[in-house]
Chain A
Amino acid sequence: MQLNARYPQLFTWPALVLYTAFFILPSLGGIVYAFTDWSSYSDEVNFVGLKNFRKLFSVDENYFAYFWNTFIFTGVTIVLKTVFGLALALLLDKGVKSFVNFYRALIYVPVVLPMLVVGLIFRSILHPSHGLLNVTLRAVGLDVLTQHWLTDPHLALFSVMVIDTWKGVGYIMVILLAGLQTIPKEYYEAAEVDGAGALARFRFITLPMLMPAIMVVTVLNVLYGLRVFDIVYATTNGGPGYASEVAQTGIFKAFSEGQYGLGTALSSVLFVILLFVGYGVIRLLERPPARV
């Protein structure tokens, strides 16, 4: 017994050492550096207290908008991906009878594409003058609908959210489809005998029984949305101006500009937000499952 009890520890220690050295310590270090003026302009690193945070939360700066955009992005993409993911999953589970695997693959393809490729494709499609979308709209006489999709400050973030939904919806659909397929068909038959129409069956059977899968999807979407970087970087790079800037692009830019102290301060704020939101979501998940 004594020997057996020691084995798990022996296996844990190397992993724990690596994890501490390469993740925990740098993370804590990052938080410490958030209180310094560490930058690429000077070899000196001085403790400056809350100066970086004061700058982040100052009304003269745009960082508030970065976080605001991050929240908007997270909220809207969660809704879009869940609604469209669920609709597609329902269609593939019940509606479509032939070529199901073909459609499933088709919807999943964008998930597999590299983010930068998606960015390039959509920058081309959404180009204001010779992009596919506007050209098509003009060709069918819908000139009024043509937009500067990625360069209009009011539209840019929305366009990015739609692109991200297009890319991410397949992944969400696969999880929801798996969830749908675990719902025993007797429940639907019992509801059918009880006189429940399609809408009532969805509302009273599908939705409650799919809740565990929807929760998983929401956690994934929240954590992804708050940390989003690559799709924004690849399409608008936060532009025009700061219109589609999110937390991670702000962090990236602060580091590129050599303002390491400011960058780490931004990261720390994002870390705290993730910690709270993540904790809240996981608490929601811990509720006992309804399934027998």
Chain B
Amino acid sequence: MARVELKNINKSFGTTQVVHDVNLAIEHGEFTVFVGPSGCGKSTLLRMIAGLEEVSSGKIEIGDADVTGERAADRGIAMVFQSYALYPHMTVADNMTFGLRVARRPKPEITEKLASAAKILRLEDLLARKPAQLSGGQRQRVAIGRAIVRDPKVFLFDEPLSNLDAELRVQMRVEIGQLHKVLGSTMIYVTHDQVEAMTMADRIVVLRGGRVEQVGKPLELYNDPVNAFVAGFIGSPRMNFLSGVVTDARQIKVAGTEFVAPVASGLVRGQTLQLGIRPEHLAASNGVKIEATVNVIEALGATAYLYTTTDSGEKIVAEWRGALPQIGNRVKLCFEPGAVRLFAEGGERIR
């Protein structure tokens, strides 16, 4: 079993602390995605698990063994780099078997592992080529092949798709997902793209400023974010944030209308707060209405997004079904009070 457990991990570069007291348990066979904006420490965290970066303090366990002080090669991990890092002077076959050859494994074993990895990744016809003769997607597959051949307990991916074009990225996303099902190994995947996180992950770890903001299944994060940051980061187009005031017990005034807050307690009269409403929740046929003026229309075919401004000057993006309005028209955006997420001024969720 290859659980990965991080205990009180801290990391500083000089006097700058980039990872703050991270505690995390990743179960065997789980596909975990670290997601967050650039500089949130997700890559550093991955590199510490890989053993390419030392931890300043804390403990890393892989498969119940403490590997904090172990060399990268002895941790039972394999890593796929953003730049692929294929050795340019070696053929595809040599690239994939480099680790085995360095470890002086017997010839038949090397041949067998190469053949099986090449089969899984459909690289059989490319084995004699050099990386320069491959397309981006093929290079990506070779990099994954190099990882598979090592037969690791844990696969680590460091933004592996960011050098590919959009179409190929979607395709490789699916391929990596299938690979995970075939191999059943624990995989940790770093990305800044929340769509990748939502589509691929069993569990998502949202990071900001070197701290874990929330850990959970994709839909848990989507439906039940712990704070405004996670709510805004997960979901595309992003959640709208409107400022509101508590007028009376559970009454909230927002953008010219008032409604009954979907929370039991925790509100104080006169308190200002942020209301988070997702664009798709503004397409309800009835409920609380907000009037706004349409600035831009994005018609995607199946659905459309309206970029609007309320009378009080707040910007709202709303999904729209049915006949499209004209730019400059006033529209009524409706939402169910239950779809609203409330956040305090500091960003914490009010339940």
Interface residues on B, range: 20 to 34
Contacts A189-B52, A200-B102, A292-B131 given; does A194 touch B150 at CB 8 Å: yes
Q: Are B73 and A195 in contact (CB under 8 A)?
A: yes
Tell me the chain B residues, 98-144 only, with Cβ under 8 Å from chain A.
98-99, 102-103, 130-132
Q: Are B73 and A194 in contact (CB under 8 A)?
A: yes
Question: Complex formed: what's the CA distance from A200 to B50 in Å?
Answer: 20
The residue in A184, A191, A196, A292 that gathers the most chain B C-beta atoms within 10 A of its C-beta is A292
Contacts A194-B73, A204-B87 given; does A186 touch B81 at CB 8 Å: yes
The residue in A190, A192, A197, A200 that gathers the most chain B C-beta atoms within 10 A of its C-beta is A190
Contacts A191-B98, A193-B52, A193-B77 given; does A186 touch B88 at CB 8 Å: no
Contact with A along B11-41 (1 / 0, CB 8 A): 0000000000000000000000000000000
Tell me the chain B residues, 65-102 only, with Cβ under 8 Å from chain A.
71-74, 77-79, 81, 83, 85-90, 98-99, 102
Distance in Å from the Cβ of B130 to the closest Cβ of chain A? 8
Contacts A292-B131, A292-B132 given; does A192 touch B52 at CB 8 Å: yes
Question: Complex formed: what's the CA distance from A205 to B83 in Å?
Answer: 16
Q: Which residues of A contact B78 (CB under 8 A)?
A: 193
Indicate which residue in A189, A205, A292 contacts B81 across the interface (CB closer than 8 Å). Answer: A189
Tell me the chain B residues, 172-192 only, with Cβ under 8 Å from chain A.
none
Indicate which residue in B81, B85, B102 contacts A195 across the interface (CB closer than 8 Å). Answer: B102
Q: Which residues of A contact B51 (CB under 8 A)?
A: 192-193
Contact with A along B46-59 (1 / 0, CB 8 A): 00001110000000
Q: Are A193 and B73 in contact (CB under 8 A)?
A: yes
Tell me the chain A residues, 186-227 only, with Cβ under 8 Å from chain B.
186-187, 189-197, 200, 204-205, 208-209
Q: Which residues of A contact B102 (CB under 8 A)?
A: 191, 194-197, 200, 204
Q: Are A187 and B98 in contact (CB under 8 A)?
A: no
In the complex, the chain B residue whose C-beta lies closest to that of A207 is: B89
In the complex, the chain A residue whose C-beta lies closest to that of B53 is: A189
Question: Complex formed: what's the CA distance from A205 to B103 in Å?
Answer: 16
Contact with B along A275-286 (1 / 0, CB 8 A): 000000000000
Distance in Å from the Cβ of B152 to the closest Cβ of chain A? 9
Q: Are B88 and A291 in contact (CB under 8 A)?
A: yes
Distance in Å from the Cβ of B161 to the closest Cβ of chain A? 16
Tell me the chain A residues, 146-197 only, with Cβ under 8 Å from chain B.
184, 186-187, 189-197
Question: Complex formed: what's the CA distance from A184 to B83 in Å?
Answer: 10
Interface residues on A, range: 20 to 34
Q: Does A290 contact B (CB under 8 A)?
A: yes
Q: Which residues of B contact A191 (CB under 8 A)?
A: 87, 98, 102
Q: Are A205 and B52 in contact (CB under 8 A)?
A: no
Contacts A200-B102, A204-B98, A292-B132 given; does A193 touch B88 at CB 8 Å: no
Indicate which residue in A186, A194, A197, A292 contacts B98 across the interface (CB closer than 8 Å). Answer: A194
Q: Which residues of A contact B131 (CB under 8 A)?
A: 292
Q: Which residues of A contact B88 (CB under 8 A)?
A: 209, 290-292
In the complex, the chain A residue whose C-beta lies closest to that of B134 is: A292
Q: Which residues of B contact A190 (CB under 8 A)?
A: 79, 81, 85, 87, 146
In the complex, the chain B residue whose C-beta lies closest to that of A288 is: B132
Distance in Å from the Cβ of B146 to the closest Cβ of chain A? 8
Q: Which residues of B contact A197 (CB under 8 A)?
A: 102
Contacts A193-B73, A195-B103, A200-B102 given; does A187 touch B85 at CB 8 Å: yes
Question: Complex formed: what's the CA distance from A200 to B99 in Å?
Answer: 10
Contacts A193-B78, A200-B102 given; does A186 touch B83 at CB 8 Å: yes
In the complex, the chain B residue whose C-beta lies closest to that of A195 is: B73
Q: Which residues of A contact B87 (CB under 8 A)?
A: 187, 190-191, 204-205, 208
The residue in A184, A189, A196, A205 that gathers the most chain B C-beta atoms within 10 A of its C-beta is A189
Question: Complex formed: what's the CA distance from A186 to B73 in Å?
Answer: 15
Q: Which residues of A contact B81 (CB under 8 A)?
A: 186, 189-190
Question: Complex formed: what's the CA distance from A192 to B102 in Å?
Answer: 11
Question: Complex formed: what's the CA distance from A290 to B132 in Å?
Answer: 9
Distance in Å from the Cβ of B113 to the closest Cβ of chain A? 13
Question: Complex formed: what's the CA distance from A193 to B86 in Å?
Answer: 13
Q: Are A193 and B89 in contact (CB under 8 A)?
A: no
| A-binding residues in B (CB < 8 A) | 50-52, 71-74, 77-79, 81, 83, 85-90, 98-99, 102-103, 130-132, 146, 150
- Closest 7 pairs (CB-CB, A-B): A195-B73, A194-B99, A186-B85, A290-B89, A190-B85, A208-B89, A292-B88
| B-binding residues in A (CB < 8 A) | 184, 186-187, 189-197, 200, 204-205, 208-209, 290-292
